Structure 1
Amino acid sequence: MERLDQSTFKPFISEGVKLVEFSASWCFDCKRIAFSMPEWEDRYGSHFHFGELDVDESRKIAEEFHVKGVPTFILFRDGVEEFRLASKEAKKDENVIRFFDEVSAAPLP
């Protein structure tokens, strides 16, 4: 997973299919998800590239994309948001896996 910040976020999402986890260092669920992420990257890495953005370090980006809580997952295709799993639903692994399954099955343009 690529760590993103204010300067690397826009270039990262600008081309291809990218899945960004909006997280925070104080977020228990984000830390728990981090343990599963290597497995999920192996499973879904052929469908999209993973990135992680700390909302406290990059508040302007979190505000721009109306991220209200963490963890939040947003799938971008060529810089455009296509799918989102907001914080309340993203706290359960089964919801995250279902989301990844759905977005990885979505047709490419």
Structure 2
Amino acid sequence: MVKKINQDEFKSMDKSGVSVLDFNATWCGPCKMLAPVLEEVSEELSGKANFYSVDTDENPDLAREYGIMNIPAIVVLKDGEKVDMNVGFVPKEALSDFVSKNL
């Protein structure tokens, strides 16, 4: 399950383990295409990583903090530290591989 969060929730959440942040916006076509793919991957990797959705229009400071210049952008964190990032739409297998290699 992908949980929608804001920057205040992000600051107060437990960042231990692997977290996957999906930076997106409601007006972004590729973001809308990626959302159901990310949902499927999150279900397959349940218990191995936590998945979060961040609207860049509503949370510009958080997007800036992670250097988000284009969306959709997937950022992988390990214990709160950015370890990898992917920008743009990717098919399910590629997204699953991208997240899995960072577990």
TM-score, with length taken from structure 1: 0.81
- State which of 83, 90, 100 in structure 2 corresponds to 1:92: 90
Q: Give me the identity figure in percent.
A: 24
Identify the residue that residue 42 of structure 1 maps to in structure 2: 43
More helix by share: 1
Match status 1:103 vs 2:91: no
1:54-88 CA-partner distances (Å, limit 9, x unpaired): 01100011111110111111111221111111x2x
TM-score, with length taken from structure 2: 0.85
RMSD: 1.6
AA matched with 1:70: I
Greater CA drift, 92-101 or 25-34: 92-101
Runs of at least 4 residues of structure 1 off by over 6 A? Answer: none
Aligned counterparts of 1:15 and 1:40: Cα–Cα separation in 2: 20
Identify the residue that residue 81 of structure 2 maps to in structure 1: 80
**How far did 1:47 drift?**
1.6
**Contact (CA 8 Å) 1:21, 1:74: kept in 2 or not?**
yes
Aligned residue for 2:34, secondary structure, equals: helix
AA matched with 1:42: E
CA pair 73-13 structure 1, distance change in 2 beyond 3 A: farther
**Contact (CA 8 Å) 2:38, 2:95: kept in 1 or not?**
no
Which one has more relative contact order, counting CA pairs under 8 Å at least 6 apart? 2
Alignment of 1:23-62 (within 5 A): 23-62=24-63
